[in-house]
Amino acid sequence: MFPTIKITQTTQPRKRPVPGDSLPFGTFFTDHMFSMDYVEGQGWINPRIEPFGDITIPPTAMVFHYGQAVFEGLKAYRCPDDSINLFRPLLNYERLNISDERLVIPPLDTEFCVHATKELVRLDRGWIPSGEGESLYIRPFVFATDPYLGVRPSKTYRFMILLSPSGAYYPQGIDPVKIYV
């Protein structure tokens, strides 16, 4: 049994892209987002879907000073029969937990994350494009929110899921970015 997800629907829907228009990757965002908080000693609490919007984070949050954050990415596709398919969500959340472990971020319940993703996608189903090469990009991420400047794992975190109707990531082909690792 999963925890109840509190759902607050938007009263001010965002403007949706017009079918057939260009959908540059990561440009449009749906009406809602999922959030859940972690507090040391309490675990992951307060799962909620709320209207998409800005969030408040203290400038001392550890994510800004030590980079304690992880993200994943997966997609939902609209099928010809109008059903919706998610591509390997459980594997994505298992991979997110592997990265979380490396950064000493408390693990998430992967089955609950899939459930939360499905609930969010169901709510914003009307945003899923149906054009050739288009999908609903799903961006789950977790970051340290503890307002502390010392070196240690955070005691608080936020996990979020955003949805973005998108076309191809590289519509004109691959254009690599040079980085030094």
pLDDT in tens, 43-81: 999 999 999 999 999 999 999 999 999 999 999 999 999
Domains and CATH numbers, the chain: 6-14+23-166 (3.30.470.10)
Q: Please state the rounded mean pLDDT for residues 9-36.
A: 93
Please tell me the predicted confidence (pLDDT) of residue 172.
62
* 93 within 8 A of 113, measured Cβ to Cβ: yes
For residue 33, the one-letter residue type is: M
Q: What percent of the chain has pLDDT over 70?
A: 96
79/86 Cα distance (integer angstroms)? 11
